[in-house]
């Protein structure tokens, strides 16, 4: 299970690296469709939205990376459960 809350307490640069890696998995990987489905199944959108207010208080590069990741996760065929959960 993906535990974003564990990473939530990490320094901004470490969080940014995590978000950047997840973004690469859903946007640049040859398996991006499968990765996108997996991250949605793990309710990543819901988890990221939960920590969004606190991340926005941190370094701007980390905030930007999180918002970019959310944008990619929600761009193609978004699930209503991603926002309603």
pLDDT band with cut points at 50, 70 and 90 for residue 25: very high
| pLDDT tens per residue across span 39-53 | 998 889 988 988 899
| pLDDT tens per residue across span 3-16 | 555 565 667 688 89
- Pick the more confident residue, 81 or 55: 55
CA–CA separation, 61 and 27 (whole Å): 18
Asked if residue 22 has pLDDT above 90, the reply is yes
- Average pLDDT value for the chain: 84
* CA-angle at 12, arms to 71 and 59, nearest 5°: 70
pTM recorded for the entire structure: 0.82
- Going from N- to C-terminal start, the domains of the chain cover 13-75
């Amino acid at each position: 299970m993906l535990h974003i809350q564990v990473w939530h307490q990490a320094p901004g640069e470490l969080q940014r690296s995590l978000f950047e890696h997840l973004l690469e998995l859903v946007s640049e990987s040859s398996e991006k469709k499968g990765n996108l489905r997996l991250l949605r199944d793990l309710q990543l959108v819901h988890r990221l939205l939960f920590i969004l207010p606190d991340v926005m208080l941190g370094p701007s590069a980390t905030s930007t990376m999180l918002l970019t990741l959310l944008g990619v996760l929600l761009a193609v065929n978004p699930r209503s459960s991603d926002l309603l959960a």
